[in-house]
Structure 1
Amino acid sequence: MNILVVKANNRPAAEGVSSQMYQTFMESIKDNSSINIKTYDVFEEDMPYLGQELFDAFGKLQSGGQLTDGEQRLLTAKQKAMDAVTEADLIVFAFPLWNLTIPARLQTFVDYIYSVGFTFKYDENGNMVQLLNDKKVIFLNARGGVYSSPEMAPIEMAVNYMRNVFHATFGMEIVDEVIIEGHNAMPDKADEIVAEGLEKVKEVAKKLSLQHV
């Protein structure tokens, strides 16, 4: 199995809970020689934001025009993300909820691969067709507040967004989710909440290892 781990938090593990989740997952699965793991760190990769420059580059590719350095840089970054997804059987995302949504760098990764003909297409009747049904995904998410209640769930735009993109649009099977929440809202229980969540991350890694020994 080829696993791509997308790390979407550059806070030190001592400060960022989703960074701890990434670290715990990697540590728990590192000794399985039957699993090939690659990490895509959205804070370490060269990831220019998408805008008109991308459409200018596409136009030049079609007309045979000369790309600027910025346009080539953007196309190279986009292709690298797409290649990483193509090679993966399973993608693991370790990411926080920031201001009700995902970090901008992770959004850029999504934008790179959210492409007609790669992750989805339209049929002759205009219906959307998923193109990544052969891939699986795992979400490891941390959020300091409690968003699982009926009142708060509708405004949570991190895990909900990722589910809608990777499962509902791209067709990937969500095989596991670990969500650690409430550690900032309930500081007296923070250590317990985080420890329990990290144990669940270990269980996810163990499950993968048992499937591929």
Structure 2
Amino acid sequence: MANVLVVKANNRPDGVSTKMYEAFVAEAKAQNIEFSTFDVFEENLAYFGQELFNAFGKAQAGEELNEKEVASLASFNKSREALTAADVVVFAFPLWNLTIPAALQSFIDYTYGAGYSFKYDENGNLVSLMTDKKYIVLSARGGIYSSPEAAPSEMAVNYINNVIGGVYGMQKVDEVVIEGHNANPAKAEEIIAEGLEKVKAAAKNLTAVLV
């Protein structure tokens, strides 16, 4: 049985991408799809920085790590362990200030690494190392960013696709984006409802991917 990992990246109970996560999970359960959730906010990942490299050096030398180094090393380990075990990864996240939430960025930072998610060949070209994995994008944004004029400023879905699909090399099997519910409040309920139905369909379609 394939291991499905759902990466939840919104801690707002009324957030639209939270509703997308909940809709996906409910349908996955209805389809008897086994999955685990990695809530990047609940995991309280430490910010990626020098503390991690200090931790590596101290651990190798048998030296005691300080509190920040321990937290960074723990964040590194649990992020990579979760991603390594997954065959399919579902990312549920909002567009906040034109990009992804910082907590999701931390998960990416800890899993984005030469020798783990990619490598360089003898000519210096990037080679993806996660081509055996698949992923799904579930994202929400209150404005409309699918237009040619606004699309270049959208750095959440584009970023995840560039990293997960481009660098890591995972195959995207579905993408659902709910947008415009804040820009058009009169149709917000309709926009969200239609999007959630697409999320449910993505969960149902996943059963074929897992065969």
Q: Same fold (TM over 0.5)?
A: yes
Once residues 58 and 195 of structure 1 are traced to their aligned partners in structure 2, the CA distance between those partners, rounded to angstroms, is 47
- Evaluate the alpha carbon distance shift between residue 127 and residue 212 of structure 1 in structure 2; reply closer, same or farther with a 3 A threshold: closer
Q: What TM-score do the two structures reach when normalised by structure 1?
A: 0.94
Check whether the contact 2:31–2:204 (CA below 8 A) recurs between aligned residues: no
Identity of aligned residues (%): 60
Give the alignment of 1:1-213 within 5 angstroms: 1-12=2-13, 15-33=14-32, 35-212=33-210
Unaligned runs of 5+ in 1: none
Once residues 59 and 44 of structure 2 are traced to their aligned partners in structure 1, the CA distance between those partners, rounded to angstroms, is 21
Unaligned runs of 5+ in 2: none
Once residues 111 and 156 of structure 2 are traced to their aligned partners in structure 1, the CA distance between those partners, rounded to angstroms, is 17
CA deviation string 1:27-62 (max 9, x = no partner)? 0111334x3200000110031101111121122234
Once residues 210 and 49 of structure 2 are traced to their aligned partners in structure 1, the CA distance between those partners, rounded to angstroms, is 41
- Evaluate the alpha carbon distance shift between residue 62 and residue 126 of structure 1 in structure 2; reply closer, same or farther with a 3 A threshold: farther
Once residues 28 and 186 of structure 2 are traced to their aligned partners in structure 1, the CA distance between those partners, rounded to angstroms, is 31
- Evaluate the alpha carbon distance shift between residue 123 and residue 212 of structure 1 in structure 2; reply closer, same or farther with a 3 A threshold: closer
Q: How many residues align?
A: 210
| Divergent runs of 4+, >4 A | 210-213
CA deviation string 1:53-97 (max 9, x = no partner)? 112112223433332232122111111110101111100011000
1:210 deviates by 4.6
Q: What TM-score do the two structures reach when normalised by structure 2?
A: 0.95
Question: How large is the Cα RMSD of the aligned pairs?
Answer: 1.3
Equivalent residue letter for 1:149: S
Equivalent residue letter for 1:142: A
